[in-house]
Chains A and B, each alone.
Chain A
Amino acid sequence: MNFGALLDATTAGALDVAWLANQLEPLSEPGRRANERIQPFRPHQEREAQAHADAIARTAKKLGAAEVHAMRDVLRTMPDPLPAIARAAMGEALEDANLLELLRFMDAAVRLQPHVPLDPQAREVLQILEPGRAGKFGFYLSEKFDAALSSARAAADRAQAEFDASRGRLAQRVAADLRRDEIPGSEFIVMRDTIDLLPRGVRVVREAPTYFLCELDLDEAALESLRRRDAAAQAVATAEESVRARVSQALRERAKALEALVELVGELDVHLAHVRFTQQYRCAPAHIVSEPVLRFSNARYLPLEAELEAQGRPYEPVSVDLSGAVVLTGPNMGGKSVALRTCGSIAVLAAFGIPVPAETAGCALFDDVAWLGIGAQEELGGLLSSFAREVVRLNELLARPAAVGLLLVDEFARTTTPHEGKALLVALIRVLQRRGRLAFIATHLDGIAADARVRHFAVRGLKNVPKGAPAGDLQAALAALADSMDYAVYEVTDGGVRQADAVALAHLLGLDDDIVAEAADVLRSERTTS
């Protein structure tokens, strides 16, 4: 899948697109080739994207997970026949290993019925290869291909038996002369002190002070049977080559049909990868719309959900409704970044026409999904400060010619003075609004949404202040936080937002008690002053 057509490496890293790509990976080589060809749907292809996602959802509903698993198992073990088809198409005689690959591929295609239609030419290929089927999974260039092969092999077996007998008689006589039980291999040694003369039929290959290294010196009869054996072996070789050439020619004539079948199988592999994803992660097709909006209910950011699941911790889905530029506020660790990542991954999946991990979703086809801020990998040099890097990146993002872009901004200008940071952020939002860009902007700064006159969402935050976890026990602290945090995102309509919970969180995470107490004092005195 060409994710690069939709997002840059920085955004891909922030959204953990590698995880997504891994989950959507097909299993066979034809599948991987088909996967590489996949491009995101572009704006104005809403109908096609919708149809694609609906088709995946239909298959996911129609087939049980076990059936999908069984079909994917067929694809996983299926060989890639394309190199063999290419060789046949070029007029080469295929090797038996190629023919076995083709036979196994055809068997896999049959097992994938009715999801891959087999045209008459493809069925003929099965008939062509059938005489080679050996056992359950094997292939042998058997005599069923050609009667001439049968007679050549029978002659070769006779010739081999004659030679074995001829050599065996010689070996037996030599063994008897040397008072041995047998002459086993092609070379043997004879100790000088055991004989006066070497027996007839023995040839010295090398001499050592105490022994001779010898081999059997074939007599005329044995040599003649050896010549007959070699000639018979050559006749077998000729007959085998003739069969291979004939089978390869028959496959060459059907190469186009085979190539088309390989392509269909690859596409099915991709489809089933998406179906498995849809089933496993309980996805639903987004309603693809032409307006630049992104809305969903009870959506999940899958990499985090999987991580929490592995730890036995619950995941709280979020619901968001974005149009234009929207501000998101909330406490530390409240899930602002996760909400942004959820938006990004849903936009990416929808762009590829794949169902999304949400109860319901409506989504435009974005041609650019971009991430700015925390979590982005820093690609620029160390000479620039964090702020400078953000500015350079923002400039680059704004310059992109996206028709329908989604910008996800996580704590822009967090490293400069709050006063100027706020001014910059408000200005950015106003510009984005004017340019009609869809943007989700997470910040800690107060009053941004009001000043920029845009919609304001917030994470609810701590339901209650949890008791401090034992010092140093981060896992216990995170578990306590999960129990106390309300990750729900809601739209702020009355202008009032709860205070952030940084001090309580710092306490929970085990910050020094003196610092926590002092911070609480400072906050109390500020409230009294105001």
Chain B
Amino acid sequence: MRIGDALLDLARAHGRRSVFVVGTGKNAGKTVAMRAMADAAVARGLRLGITSIGRDGEAVDASDALAKPRLFLRPGTILATARRLLPSHPASELLDFTPWNTAAGPVAFMRVRQAAHYELAGPSTAGGVRACVRRFAEFGCDQIIVDGALDRVAALAGGEDAVVVAAGAATARTIEEAVADVRALAARLGVPRFEQGAPYVRVDGALTAAHASRLVSAREERQVVVRDPTQIALSGKALLGVVSQLRLRCERPLHVVAATIASIGADRYFEPREFARAVASATGLPTFDVYAGEMASAA
């Protein structure tokens, strides 16, 4: 099957034009998933806008010196990246500078004129990322892809984006651990819309571990409503515990549409089909192995 097309179809359902790929950790396979979608978008003739929250697309990971997939982008693609990462060759069409600062200088928009490898380091603040998505739309992009970051999900707030969650062998020691992580991430980002008319208690601001613990202790049975899933400041086992004991709901749900897996880590392998099936079963999401070209669904 064509994974990029399948992911893109899910991302573009209901007229959505932007998709964020959020991983459970570093090297979870986000860039590979993003590249598959980017290739599919270009093959369909869509005008693509692409960026990353923080740095991505480098040949070597800046923090752990491991080789990383690079982004080979085709002419017409618009990207937002730090000014110091703009390649000298081939020359690109510079569209605009922005005030969003990164470690590699302020972010600039550019249009690819000749196919080449590019590094991405987009805005690192939630406000900057949202503004960046708006600018892509102003530049006429039909499809926007953002390489997200687990600690920057605040950037999803206030958007109508699709979300793809990515799990990889590099992020956990065992399949069980990796599955638990992605299940928690999907549960957090996939908190459903609150039910009108049913009793509820609204949480102003972030739902912290301490606040959630008090609600659990008080055996709160009403819906616990946050503004949007990014306001849930819990992850991993703590989040799964809270989800099982509280009726967590939100006013503005996100649209988690798929999961991807990468069964190859720097120093470990997971059995790909078992991993994909387990992720699909735990998250209830269609789960894609971009490397194997296969998909698993929840039974």
> Interface residues, chain A, CB within 8 Å of chain B?
79, 95-97, 100-101, 134-135, 137-141, 153, 156-157, 160, 180-189, 191, 206, 208-211, 213, 233, 236-237, 240-241
Contact = CB atoms under 8 A, between A and B. Distances in A.
Contacts of A181: 1-2, 293
Contacts of A97: 83, 86, 94, 97, 108
A139 B293 contact: no
Given A157-B114, A182-B293, A184-B290, A240 B89 contact: yes
Given A160-B115, A187-B291, A240 B96 contact: no
Given A134-B93, A210-B271, A211-B269, 9 more contacts: A97-B108, A134-B95, A138-B111, A140-B113, A156-B114, A157-B114, A185-B291, A208-B263, A233-B89
A229 to B, nearest CB: 9
Counting chain A CB atoms within 10 Å of each CB, the highest count among B2, B36, B69, B264 belongs to B264
Given A137-B96, A186-B69, A211-B292, A236 B90 contact: yes
Contacts of B271: 209-210
Contact of A185 (B69, B264, B272): B69
A79 B97 contact: yes
B94 A139 contact: yes
Given A160-B114, A181-B2, A191-B292, A138 B88 contact: no
B134 to A, nearest CB: 16
B198 to A, nearest CB: 43
Contacts of B88: 95-96, 237, 240-241
A46 to B, nearest CB: 43
Give the 4 A-B residue pairs with the shortest CB-CB distance, closest first.
A237-B89, A208-B269, A140-B93, A141-B91
A156 B75 CA distance: 13
Nearest to A213: B264
B276 to A, nearest CB: 11
Contact of B293 (A157, A188, A233, A236): A188
A209 B114 contact: no
Nearest to A156: B114
Interface string B75-100: 00000000100101111111111000
Contacts of A241: 88-89
B35 interface: yes
5 contacts: A96-B88, A139-B93, A153-B114, A184-B293, A185-B32
Nearest to B40: A184
Counting chain A CB atoms within 10 Å of each CB, the highest count among B32, B94, B113 belongs to B94
Contacts of A233: 89-90, 116
A240 B264 contact: no
A100 B290 CA distance: 39
B292 A189 contact: yes
Interface in B1-59: 1-4, 32, 35-36, 39
A78 to B, nearest CB: 11
B89 A206 contact: no
B152 interface: no
Given A182-B2, A184-B36, A184-B39, A137 B95 contact: yes
Contacts of B1: 181
A162 to B, nearest CB: 12
Contacts of A183: 293
A209 B86 contact: no
Contacts of A187: 69, 291
Contacts of B35: 184-185
Interface of A: prevailing SS: mixed
A289 B264 CA distance: 83
B273 interface: yes
B69 A138 contact: no
Contact of A135 (B3, B95, B97, B293): B95
A211 B90 CA distance: 38
A261 to B, nearest CB: 20
Contacts of B97: 79, 97, 100-101
Contacts of A210: 271-272
Contacts of B264: 189, 206, 208, 213
A472 B90 CA distance: 71
Contacts of B4: 184
A189 B289 CA distance: 9
A96 B86 CA distance: 9
Contacts of A209: 269, 271
Nearest to B32: A185
Nearest to B36: A184
A385 to B, nearest CB: 47
B71 to A, nearest CB: 11
Interface string B236-274: 000000000000000000000000000110000101110
Nearest to B292: A189
A185 B36 contact: yes
A183 B292 CA distance: 9
Contacts of B113: 140
B91 A240 contact: yes
A191 B91 contact: no
Contacts of A139: 93-94
Contacts of A135: 93, 95
Contacts of A79: 97
Nearest to A161: B115
B2 A191 contact: no
Nearest to A211: B272
Counting chain A CB atoms within 10 Å of each CB, the highest count among B1, B93, B272 belongs to B93
Nearest to B96: A137
Nearest to A193: B273
B233 to A, nearest CB: 35
Given A160-B115, A187-B291, A138 B96 contact: yes
